[in-house]
Amino acid sequence: MKQKRKTKIIATIGPASKSPFMLNQLVKVGADIFRFNLKYNTPDGHGLIIDKARKEAKKQGKSVQILIDIPSSSFLEGVDLALKKKVDYVALSHVKQADEIVEFRRVAVKAGFTAKVIAKIETEEALSNFNSILDEADAIMVARGDLGETIPIEKVPFVQKEIIMSCIKTDKMVTVATEMLLSMVSNKEPTRAEVSDVANAVLEGSDAVMLSEETAIGKNPLGAVEAMNNIIHETESWEKLGHVDILSNNGTDFKFGV
């Protein structure tokens, strides 16, 4: 029997994974957190699926955490859904400065909001203001897709490492997202490079790794979660045997753009 993973798996729910059967099986094969993107579907539509997800997890004697991803014109809709469904996390898209998080909390807390706020780092401006954003957010998501369109792509791996180290230092949750097992949208197995990518994110100290298209619209959502589950288990088992060292809490202040 495999030991419990430290690194969580976030699975994005979409047309390929929204049925009760698929939600049930995703929990069974290792999904810890379900992500719902408000850019797609309506809040009410997402709400119905959230109810089904919790019901299916409960059938297995398990629970699944809920993350809703809020585009920046949709704050009020996101707050309303978060309150109605008592979600665990809210991810704010395209955060550029700490004031956006402060304003979101002002609106949300007044309404009785308790979910943790994740700041998605997707722009060069967010990198320039990263330390203040980190101070205000409960958690950080390294959203590499959009980030790679706003800074040279060869810088993304190093920015990812710096962000993770900063989060470790400040004891903030950090997630690595986008294109982790992208080939599995259409293929049965990940590429060797994708396996290394997931393993490196774990070794760097990520708290969670995320699947997007792979589980939302891919041909084999279950296979994608199973593959990620296996990669994480193998990586963490090597660390426990002393073959590799996961980064300790000795990160430095974020330097990019300074």
Crossing angle of the two packed helices 43-59 and 75-85, in degrees rounded to 10: 30
| pLDDT at 110 (0 to 100) | 82
21: left (phi over 0), alpha (psi -120 to 50) or beta: alpha
Architecture of domain 8-240: Alpha-Beta Barrel (3.20)
The dihedral sign for the CA sequence 94, 99, 103, 106: positive
DSSP 177: E
Q: What is the spatial distance between Cα 183 and Cα 47, in angstroms, rounded to a whole number?
A: 29
With 80 as the cut, is the pLDDT of residue 254 above it?
Answer: no
86-123 pLDDT, tens per residue? 999 999 999 999 999 999 998 888 888 889 999 999 99
Token reading at 98: 């700490």
CA angle 93, 97, 100 (to 5 degrees): 65
Q: Give this prediction's pTM.
A: 0.92
- What's the gap between Cα 40 and its chain centre? 17
Residue 245 has pLDDT above 90, yes or no: no
Q: Comparing 58-72, 73-87, 146-160, 170-184, which segment has the lowest mean pLDDT?
A: 73-87
Residue 248 has pLDDT above 50, yes or no: no
pLDDT digits (tens, 9 = 90+) for 173-228: 999 999 999 999 999 999 999 999 999 999 999 999 999 999 999 999 999 999 99
Residue 202 is predicted with a pLDDT of 96
Alpha helices in the chain (DSSP H): 20-29, 43-59, 75-85, 98-110, 124-128, 130-136, 144-150, 156-170, 192-204, 213-216, 221-240
